Homo-oligomer: A and B are copies of this chain.
């Protein structure tokens, strides 16, 4: 079974292009296929961001980048690839037709991964001849900086393929998280969806503006979430009395009227208007490119600040990211 040295990417949107950036930074050659007229320009724009970011993140000489080849057909892209990354729109039938074509032209050993953020891998693989080699590898934007990738196998996915994928993503500076049971939207997006719904209620009911909510996150618990997650935060809140004590105190709150979550807000034009207008007031003075640059500068600062701090069990926060990018003699 071959090492993964050549990757094909089908779809050059913000996720596909982010994958290109991460792979080439790790010396892996990439062939990309996207039939859109502006695909090359869009990918190049992401590479401008990622090269700027890596240069700032890594203070020492970086390794030679892998190559990027824009292909005119899916066949050209996949025929020599060890790994094929599907990053096309979130519609099952489009994805299934891509897999059918990939199966006709890719090597038998090649692993096929989907970047889907919600569709279950058992559905993705249901019409494949070789379903055992498909899994979900769900990344987070910006793919070239955020370490997390959720790995989800379907009913027919081979455990060996999952093991290979896990080792591979670790080797390119990522934090693979194996989702233990197949479930729609996996783990992180379920949490994000929960916050999103509650946020919509708060704006709709006039309790807060979009900017108020962003401030409530980034000046408060967001600073904890960058390092601790949900449960370790509460473990500390429980103090020496422990997690059980915290649970027993906090548990009854589930029945309190503390959220609208048991209902779903009606998604209509008025709500879209309200959110879009407030968002323009909040950040309309910045272009998306400017916002991406500020975001990436902040992420770089956070990743560098956290790289030396351990959260137990040999797990170094963000070190997976930095370890492979920095030489041992980097003084920072």
Q: Are A262 and B261 in contact (CB under 8 A)?
A: yes
Bound form: Cα–Cα A187–B238 in Å: 22
* Residues of A251-292 whose CB lies within 8 A of B: 251-259, 261-265, 267, 271-272, 275-276, 278-280, 282-283, 285-288, 291-292
Is A60 an interface residue when CB atoms closer than 8 A count as contact?
A: no
Is A65 an interface residue when CB atoms closer than 8 A count as contact?
A: no
Is A40 an interface residue when CB atoms closer than 8 A count as contact?
A: no
Taken together, the copies of this chain in the complex come to: 2
B contact residues around A239 at 8 Å (CB): 14, 288
Is A37 an interface residue when CB atoms closer than 8 A count as contact?
A: no
Total interface residues on A, CB under 8 Å, equals 121
With contact pairs A298-B317, A301-B305 given, residues A243 and B150 touching in the complex (Cβ less than 8 Å): no
B contact residues around A257 at 8 Å (CB): 184
* Residues of A162-200 whose CB lies within 8 A of B: 175, 177, 179-181, 183-185, 187-200
Instruction: Point out the residue from B192, B207, B275 that lies within 8 Å of A181, measured CB to CB.
Output: B207
Bound form: Cα–Cα A288–B141 in Å: 33
Instruction: Point out the residue from B180, B306, B312, B313 that lies within 8 Å of A298, measured CB to CB.
Output: B306
Which single residue of chain B is at the shortest CB-CB distance from A13? B239
Is A118 an interface residue when CB atoms closer than 8 A count as contact?
A: yes
Q: Are A306 and B302 in contact (CB under 8 A)?
A: yes
Q: Are B288 and A258 in contact (CB under 8 A)?
A: no
Q: Can you list 8 residue pairs at the A/B interface with Cβ under 8 Å?
A: A177-B212, A187-B216, A191-B221, A214-B229, A218-B225, A231-B278, A232-B283, A262-B263
Q: List 6 tightest A-B contacts by C-beta distance, closest first.
A: A214-B229, A301-B305, A222-B225, A148-B220, A226-B226, A217-B229
Give me 18 other A-B pairs in contact (C-beta within 8 A), A184-B256, A199-B231 excluded. A146-B220, A148-B219, A191-B217, A191-B221, A194-B197, A200-B254, A214-B228, A215-B229, A217-B229, A222-B226, A223-B226, A224-B299, A227-B302, A236-B288, A254-B267, A286-B312, A298-B309, A304-B305
